[in-house]
Amino acid sequence: MANKTFIADVDRGIYDVINQEDHRFVADKGLTEDIIRDISREKNEPQWMLEYRLKSLEIYKSKPIPTWGADLSELDVENIVHYVRPNTDMKTSWDDVPDDIKETFERLGIPEAERKSLAGVGAQYDSEVVYHSLQAELTEQGVIYTDMDTAVKEYEEIVRKYFMTIITNRDHKFSALHGAVWSGGSFVYVPAGVKVELPLQSYFRLNAKGAGQFEHTLIIVEKGASLHFIEGCSAPKYSVQNLHAGAVELFVKEDAKLRYSTIENWSRNMYNLNTKRSAVDKNGKIEWVSGSFGSRVSMLYPMSILRGEGASSEFTGITFAAKGQYLDTGTKVLHAAPNTTSIVNSKSISKDGGHAFYRGLLRVTPNATNVKSTVNCESLMLDNRSKSDTVPIIEIGNDQVDIGHEAKIGRISDETIFYLMSRGIDEAEAKAMIVRGFVEPITKELPLEYAVELNNLITLELEGTIG
């Protein structure tokens, strides 16, 4: 075998462009009651939200850092800035967004995608949403799409009913942290029977050095309605720690359908400790399409709670772990009602010593009879220094189930590379072709611009090993 040139890191192009920081308000580092009160005061929140934040802070201090997954021992939350307000208010026209922020989102392709193929867009920069739009005809049909801070004030009754009810501040240390310092995010309400034909998209950009981003996304899709929601995330690389501990709560009502697509492309100094859950009622359907790239450490397990008879869940995910990365990802499905179905398709790639860890939980309660579920995990290692693990846990509470599980771990074969090279394809392209073929089931599920982004990210990552 020819010697390879290993590159320590790759230029991530548009994702690593750093803007000069221009803030209206920056909280002190660390977590104290005074900091929480400052955040709430800056947001002019109702009293109940301040009380929830303070209670969450108490719980956060009482809970240990999880030790069962990725190593979080070097994460110093006391050295993180938990709230950074950019020097702008939310705008409804890109022309009104400050030039440096607008140019960031232009580079990421958000305004162009909005013009071509989206029904609405939200753009968050550091801790606040800076731009939001929704097509007029959807507003006329009663669809609500705004940032969470606005929703807390303008749609308080709905928010109080659902906010942090399937993700609570008691679940784990970082859900408690989220409850204390959350900021920004998206609120979507789709009335009964309304089918949103074009996707809505929110993009979260963290620019501030040594800061955290804690957006909260709350989506309610009422009976018989449907929605495709797209989420994108990125941050430039710094030499200090950044933290992402957002929360996503999805409520899919009877006969409703929600597809939730996301590409998380954080920089290599990021701890990505996100929590995502959905509750699905009778004959409702949730579809997760998830891509995890970047970050130093990820712990991310989108969960489907199938609580209504006939509810269904489908999860399609890809994880790419490169040098210095430990990406602990997977999914959880709770079958809590009869005749529910789920499909899990998870793929991971590891290279240059990266560690990809699939962690899954499939639980069937005693009353959930006639459950059908298929779990398929595939891992591809691009060299002999990388690691891949799969820990699929299946807990079955009754005998009337049909469940299948399959797992595969392997490397790119020298024979396949040799065959492609014998057909005139150079080694770099041969490897890239194999990887693109491996992730093709994921890319075909993504909206076009995200499929292109995913392939571009794979190309960037492979440049680090092939030379």
- Whether the pLDDT of residue 135 is over 60: the answer is yes
Q: Average the pLDDT over 302-314 and give the result.
A: 98
Residue 447's pLDDT band (boundaries 50, 70, 90)? Answer: low
What pLDDT digit, counting tens, does each position of 162-200 carry? 999 999 999 999 999 999 999 999 999 999 999 999 889
Is the full-model pTM beyond 0.75? yes
Averaged pLDDT score across all residues of the chain: 87
Cα–Cα distance for residue pair 341/344, rounded to 1 Å: 10
Looking at residue 242, its pLDDT comes to 86
Query: Please, which residues have CB within 8 angstroms of residue 418's CB and are 6 or more apart in sequence?
Result: none
User: Does 452 have pLDDT greater than 70?
Assistant: no
**Beta pairing, strands 128-134 & 120-125:** antiparallel
Angstrom distance (rounded) from CA 406 to CA 261:
24
State how far the Cα of 68 lies from the Cα of 417, in Å rounded to an integer.
38
Q: Pairing between strand 23-26 and 84-86?
A: antiparallel
pLDDT at position 293, please? 77
Residue 307 has pLDDT above 80, yes or no: yes
Per-residue confidence band for 124, with pLDDT thresholds at 50, 70 and 90: confident
Residue 264, Cβ density class (10 Å: 0-12 exposed, 13-18 middle, ≥19 buried) = buried
pLDDT at 21 over 60: no
pLDDT at 203: 84
Measured in residues, the chain has a length of 467
| Interatomic CA distance for residues 33 and 247, integer angstroms | 21
Tens digits of residue pLDDT in 371-425: 999 999 999 888 888 899 989 899 999 999 999 998 888 887 788 888 899 999 9
pLDDT-derived band of residue 12, with 50, 70 and 90 as boundaries? very low
Cα 320 to Cα 254, 360, 388, 411, 456: the distances in Å are: 35, 17, 11, 14, 13
Lowest mean pLDDT among 110-114, 115-119, 283-287, 456-460: 456-460
Higher pLDDT, 208 or 119: 119
Residue 462 pLDDT > 60, yes or no? Answer: yes
Q: Which amino acid is at 306?
A: L
